[in-house]
Structure 1
Amino acid sequence: MSGYPSSRSERVVIVGASLTGLHAADALRDGGFTGHITLVGAEPHPPYDRPPLSKRVLAGRMSADSTGLPQRQDLDAHWRLGNAAVALDRDARTVTLEDGTTLGFDKLLIATGTRARRWPDPDEAALTGVLSIRTREDAVELQARLAARPGRVLVIGAGFVGSEVASVCRELGLDVTVVERSAAPLAGALGAWAGTAAGRLQRRHGVDLRTDTSVVELEGDADGRLRRARLSDGAVLDVDVAVVALGAVRNVEWLAGSGLTVDSRGVRCDPYCRAVDADGRPCDDILAAGDVACWPHPLYEGLLAVEHWDNAVRQARVAATTILHGPVREHTALPTFWSNQFGLNIKVVGVPGRADQVAVLQGSVERAAFVAAYGRGGRVIGALAVNTPRALDAYAEMISRRMSFPPDLNAADAPDPVHVLDLAVPAAG
């Protein structure tokens, strides 16, 4: 079969009953698609919102059951929840599910997202009190353990999720140690300069932050309960709860042998969300979107792999357009994400993690209200706003217009003089 869905007999299968999957199905119906839609989900729940799990749910201000995503319309979809996809046969155009069911499709959208990276030692990971936070069940268990007032919480990893968990612990009055193997928290996403400022902030709020350090062993008692953590600097910590926040793993194992280009960055696709096969050709009938996808962006070298709410929604709608009309609309939206931690609202646009320079252009770091622009190769590629979220629209425009770095804003609240700092640049990708 060729072409694009136009009749009631067409079958679209969306693997991933997630934020991406929900918005893709919604966009298909908005676009006039009247065919059959099936949404497949590994979890037993309908689509729900994950960002509140590490914030409001952990703090006890919101129940996990309240995180369900609203549906704007009756999708008239067939839901296969709690039944993960395990194989894709491109030639037969079928997806096999965990229970052995085979689903045929005319168009397939891969939206399987990511899962939390587990602690590498299986026996240590199985200790009672060693947790991650990705699913509703994770959040419910961790919230209950925090509510029980543990003696000390250990957070392994100081990215955004780890930092948010630490923030909630301090909000609850709990002792928390954060162990980060790099020189500063958030450095991978925001660079060492912002990471150093974030580290000072965490320590001011009472976090026991250990940088340039790793956890080498988790120890339990005879009943299999976590009791201690041994660090690379020789320290031994008595801990009751350990939150493993070591990033995410893309859910692509089920695509082994499918002939698609898949690696640790996810499913490679073109700007129209069409999955790319092993020969580098886009597939008209198989698409990918959301956290599981990586794709070329006109403003950045190489491929982008973005694990953020805004990208999931925007890319889902581009994928739906391609399903309906073919390659007519590229996914060129700038990555945007936000976080709330330690009393700060942090918002980012672009890709600061690829920058080689940074400069504060508005406000004051000392007053925790500022905007910093990030540059690479002499042009603006990203921006960070702390407690000034409305300022970012102008910076997004600078990125899109490939403005030179640092931009001359003549802002009334600009530092005098503006200092440009050099950053260490990680390898692309």
Structure 2
Amino acid sequence: MPEETFVIVGASLAGAKAAETLREEGFGGRVLLVGDEIERPYERPPLSKGFLLGKEPRDKAHVHEADWYDKHDVELRLGVEVTAVDRAARQVHLATRERVGYDRLLLATGASPRRLEVPGSKLQGIHYLRSLGDSAKLREALAPGGRRVVVAGAGWIGLETAAAARSYGNDVTLIEPEPAPLHAVLGPEVGGVFADLHRDHGVDLRFDQGVAGFWGAGQVSAVVTSGGAEIPADVVVVGIGVRPNTRLAEDAGLEVSDGILVDASLRTSDPDVFAAGDVAAAYHPLLGRRIRVEHWANALNGGPAAARAMLGREVSYDRLPYFFSDQYDLGMEMSGAAAPGEYDEIVYRGDVAAREFVAFWLSGGRVVAGMNVNVWDVTGEVQALIRSGRRVEASALADPAVPLAGLA
């Protein structure tokens, strides 16, 4: 019987962890991991945290040591683009003109930054942050200090890069069209905590306005806001979200809608094709709807889940969305999903003013999300509360004397 071939498109965290899991689960066939970057698979949190801050070496971001792939008989093809998926022939087409057959295929193609298409957007000094190379270039631009930095977008990337820029001693202005940071993720209430954090560290916050254009002669020298203000800038960081890389899936006729549609086992509309990580819009058994999660933990756990499903194991991928962030002296972890309109109450446990608290988002008395800020070792308990689906008294949630474990 011919050897089975499993192809993974995307030499990402999700793709690398899928390859690792295939070997751990005893798969003895061919594993081909293909990526269009020349860098071996790496994790993305250091790009806006430790590596960007100069606190961690480049190699710490890599998922595996350089020799891991050879030792585990994983064919790692870097700097090679997959140009097409031929489902009828069960082949992937490479930019090298090779065609590789597959028995199972995993698409871990990730996402790409949304671009600002405004006058002056091609000027030098405008940075987007997605790759390790992007982070190295941005660190080089920020590290001298004394620069005028403008950050467009007050999402997680924007806030973390603003904090990094301030840590290097730069003047920072942050522009955001919403009325608060992280408005679409946290709502205005907890978003205000992050606004105060950055104000306290000297960031000039400009809400309710976007970027209308850039000025400069080759190199950016100013940002023009939608309100008509001109903000001097030596360095600009744009962090306005990402788009899932679905072109291969679309061209192959797979079902796509804000990501590649997959079921709870991360299987696409083709039973031999799977998707994981940022690109996958997966049905979540606990939440009862599809979600696409762009955070590190989803890639870390989704890749292995997809690998097990590719091997025919029973898989129901129901990990709660999880994210962590470090900004200045604030560290946080968030579990669940609580966009505006998905909750009707927020309950706080601890000291919000001192930025040591846990926030709970409730819908109909049930916890749908929780964030611990400078409070540690409670993520498991917060997630248990969300999973339980039980109604919880707000007074009990707010009372530090009531153990969280007893509320689930």
1:2-401 counterparts in 2 under 5 A? 9-70=3-64, 74-121=71-118, 124-221=120-217, 224-263=218-257, 265-276=258-269, 283-326=270-313, 328-353=314-339, 355-401=342-388
| Cα distance change on mapping 1:213 and 1:414 into 2, 3 Å | farther
Q: Which stretches in structure 2 are left out of the alignment for 5+ residues? A: 403-408
Amino acid across the alignment from 1:138: D
| Aligned partners of 2:262 and 2:275 also within 8 Å | yes
| Aligned partners of 2:347 and 2:397 also within 8 Å | no
Question: In the aligned structure 2, how far is the partner of 1:275 from the partner of 1:396?
Answer: 28
Task: Tell me which moved more, 242-251 or 49-58.
Answer: 49-58
Amino acid across the alignment from 2:299: A
Amino acid across the alignment from 2:227: D
Q: Which residue of 2 aligns with 1:4?
A: none
* CA offsets 1:349-401 (integer angstroms, 9 cap, x no match): 01122532333342110111000111224421110110013122112111111
Question: In the aligned structure 2, how far is the partner of 1:57 from the partner of 1:290?
Answer: 22
| Aligned partners of 1:49 and 1:67 also within 8 Å | yes
| Cα distance change on mapping 1:213 and 1:321 into 2, 3 Å | same
Amino acid across the alignment from 1:338: F
Question: In the aligned structure 2, how far is the partner of 1:314 from the partner of 1:173?
Answer: 37
| Cα distance change on mapping 1:410 and 1:379 into 2, 3 Å | closer
| Alpha-carbon shift at residue 298 of structure 1 (Å) | 2.3
| Aligned partners of 2:114 and 2:241 also within 8 Å | yes
Question: In the aligned structure 2, how far is the partner of 1:361 from the partner of 1:391?
Answer: 14
Question: In the aligned structure 1, how far is the partner of 2:392 from the partner of 2:252?
Answer: 43
| Cα distance change on mapping 1:153 and 1:182 into 2, 3 Å | same
Question: In the aligned structure 2, how far is the partner of 1:235 from the partner of 1:301?
Answer: 45
Task: Tell me which moved more, 377-386 or 35-44.
Answer: 377-386
| Cα distance change on mapping 1:260 and 1:227 into 2, 3 Å | same
TM-score scaled by length of structure 2:
0.93
Question: In the aligned structure 1, how far is the partner of 2:263 from the partner of 2:38?
Answer: 31
Amino acid across the alignment from 2:52: L
| Aligned partners of 2:8 and 2:107 also within 8 Å | yes
| Aligned partners of 1:185 and 1:199 also within 8 Å | yes
Amino acid across the alignment from 2:79: G
| Alpha-carbon shift at residue 92 of structure 1 (Å) | 0.7
| Alpha-carbon shift at residue 301 of structure 1 (Å) | 4.5
Question: In the aligned structure 2, how far is the partner of 1:284 from the partner of 1:253?
Answer: 19
* CA offsets 1:236-266 (integer angstroms, 9 cap, x no match): 1111111010111111112333110113x21
| Aligned partners of 2:320 and 2:383 also within 8 Å | yes
* CA offsets 1:51-75 (integer angstroms, 9 cap, x no match): 1111222222223344212257732
Question: In the aligned structure 2, how far is the partner of 1:334 from the partner of 1:351?
Answer: 8
| Alpha-carbon shift at residue 300 of structure 1 (Å) | 2.1
Question: In the aligned structure 2, how far is the partner of 1:172 from the partner of 1:257?
Answer: 44
Q: Which residue of 1 aligns with 2:406?
A: none
* CA offsets 1:120-163 (integer angstroms, 9 cap, x no match): 24x63321100111111111111111123353100000000100
Runs of 4+ with deviation above 4 angstroms: 405-408
Question: In the aligned structure 1, how far is the partner of 2:87 from the partner of 2:364?
Answer: 41
